[in-house]
Amino acid sequence: MKVLQIGKFYPVRGGVEKVMYDLMIGLSEQGVDSDMLCVAAEDYPCGTIIINLHARLICVPALAKFSATMIAPAMIEKLRKICTNYQIIHIHHPDPMACLALFLSGFKGKVVLHWHSDILKQKLLLKLYKPLQQWLIKRADLIVGTSPVYVADSPFLKKFQKKTDFIPIGIEEINPDQEKVAWIRATFSNKKLIFSLGRLVEYKGYSYLIKAAQYLDGDCVILIGGTGPLKENLQKLIYLLHVEDKVKLLGHVPDEDVPHYYGACDIFCLSSILKTEAFAIVQIEAMSCGKPIISTQIPGSGVSWVNTHEQSGITVEIQNERVLAEAIQLLRSDQKLYQTLKDGARQRFNENFTKRIMIQKSIRLYESLIQKYSSDEQSTLYNIDNLEKQH
């Protein structure tokens, strides 16, 4: 079995790229030939890099960027040359460039469409891309989401539910350094730490999390890690509400330090407000450390499926700072509930969101496609043979 992952770019900076890369590595470790074709970003060198015996990273150059999409004609040329080497192409959506490359490649094998999210913000891009997107949906032999909720509720997939499934995102367990965990807790005077991590952009809903601080006692500190265009506005809001002692914008948290903040926090909070937040890998990272999650009930998103209410955490309505604060206060005051959700978070991670589970399900789905392909091929040959005998 030979599989090609296509989409986005490298180095890894977001959830889609992380899933692609982890699939490539995880599948190759199980002896499945799995390469990855993507655009080189941030001056990363182009070319083919041998990852191991069963995996290659193939990076092509981009000419420009339009509406959050890399314009890379080299991807079209490259895919046309190599597509016949693979039985399955696993394409990661949304990525119009990858879709165009597949459309022009002439590939005849099986296509898995990984529907990470709908295109929501880039209205002009969607208008231009919609006919090609519709072709991709019809062309796909299998459409998988990261949660059953997202593929069921996507307006683009309503007519194609018979060929949908889901592969939950899986990660390796986070292992914080306990000395560094202790240092972080001491830095904030051993107060109750509520941690959140992500880009400082509108759909993350950080303004509501900051407003929630008004209703929290002084022994709580909300730590928000990440950078983005709203940093200055959010800092002004903190000053305006006089919650400087209760909310800290950490700025960029280096990858090697992120595990220690998960380990140090008492609660992880996801305050997102839009369906752009389709899954939120940060939730399962926190769960792997046994941290209760407070997340929001975003219509059509898989976020509330990931964090099951009263099992791994608490889910609250979106755009409501008071209910966010109430959930935080509840977990602080009810130690029995806190311990139940702490244990439940770790259990839900182990049962649903490990990298091993993600890889195993991917292999099962690939194998079912290959078997179906073989059965269809045999059926075609049988029918041809019968026709020849009749004549």
Angle at 280 between CA 346 and CA 359, to 5 degrees: 70
> Looking at residue 67, what is its pLDDT?
58
User: 32 pLDDT band (50/70/90 cuts)?
Assistant: very high
* Cα gap 287→23, rounded to integer Å: 21
From 3.40.50.970, 3.40.50.1370, 1.10.1740.10, 3.40.50.2000, which CATH number describes the 2-170+365-381 domain? 3.40.50.2000
In contact, 245 and 217? CB cutoff 8 Å: no
**Which residue has better confidence, 14 or 47?**
47
User: 143 pLDDT band (50/70/90 cuts)?
Assistant: very high
User: 135 pLDDT band (50/70/90 cuts)?
Assistant: very high
Which residue, among 219, 264, 207, 227, has the nearest Cα to 246 in the 3D structure?
Answer: 219
168 upstream amide cis, omega within 30 of 0: no
Task: Find the mean pLDDT for residues 57-65.
Answer: 86
* Cα gap 309→314, rounded to integer Å: 5
* Cα gap 88→68, rounded to integer Å: 27
Pairing of strands 64-66, 69-71: antiparallel
Of 208-217, 326-335, 382-391, the poorest mean pLDDT is in 382-391
**Which residue has better confidence, 202 or 376?**
202
In contact, 121 and 276? CB cutoff 8 Å: yes
User: 112 pLDDT band (50/70/90 cuts)?
Assistant: very high
> Looking at residue 42, what is its pLDDT?
74
* Cα gap 136→113, rounded to integer Å: 8
> Looking at residue 29, what is its pLDDT?
96
Distance of CA 302 to the CA centre of its chain: 10
* R_g of the chain, CA atoms, integer Å: 23
Predicted confidence (pLDDT) per residue in 229-282, tens digit: 999 999 999 999 999 999 999 999 999 999 999 999 999 999 999 999 999 999
In contact, 113 and 93? CB cutoff 8 Å: yes
> Looking at residue 387, what is its pLDDT?
45
Distance of CA 243 to the CA centre of its chain: 32
> Looking at residue 278, what is its pLDDT?
93
11 upstream amide cis, omega within 30 of 0: yes
In contact, 87 and 370? CB cutoff 8 Å: yes
* Cα gap 204→273, rounded to integer Å: 6
* Cα gap 217→233, rounded to integer Å: 24
The percent of residues above 90 in pLDDT, for the chain, comes to: 81
Q: How far apart are the first and last CA of the chain?
A: 37
CATH number of 178-352: 3.40.50.2000
User: 225 pLDDT band (50/70/90 cuts)?
Assistant: very high
In contact, 78 and 60? CB cutoff 8 Å: yes
* Cα gap 293→284, rounded to integer Å: 9
Is the whole-model pTM more than 0.85?
yes
> Looking at residue 187, what is its pLDDT?
96
CB-based contacts of 26: which residues, under 8 Å, 6+ apart? Answer: 355, 356, 358, 359, 362
User: 376 pLDDT band (50/70/90 cuts)?
Assistant: low
The percent of residues above 70 in pLDDT, for the chain, comes to: 93
Predicted confidence (pLDDT) per residue in 302-345, tens digit: 999 999 999 999 999 999 999 999 999 999 999 999 999 999 99
Structure tokens at 51: 């990852």
Of 45-59, 67-81, 320-334, the poorest mean pLDDT is in 67-81
The DSSP-derived string for 158-209 is: GGGGGGEEE----BPPP---HHHHHHHHHHTTT-EEEEEES-SSGGG-HHHH
**Which residue has better confidence, 19 or 128?**
19
148 upstream amide cis, omega within 30 of 0: no
* Cα gap 331→20, rounded to integer Å: 35
> Looking at residue 43, what is its pLDDT?
76
Residue 385 has pLDDT above 60, yes or no: no
Structure tokens at 195: 């941690």
Task: Find the mean pLDDT for residues 149-176.
Answer: 95
> Looking at residue 359, what is its pLDDT?
97
The SS3 call for residue 299 is coil
Residue 22 has pLDDT above 70, yes or no: yes
Residue 209 has pLDDT above 60, yes or no: yes
* Cα gap 23→1, rounded to integer Å: 14
> Looking at residue 68, what is its pLDDT?
61
Task: Find the mean pLDDT for residues 7-36.
Answer: 90
Residue intervals of the chain classified under CATH 3.40.50.2000 are 2-170+365-381, 178-352
In contact, 111 and 140? CB cutoff 8 Å: yes
Residue 284 has pLDDT above 80, yes or no: yes
Distance of CA 209 to the CA centre of its chain: 22
User: 197 pLDDT band (50/70/90 cuts)?
Assistant: very high
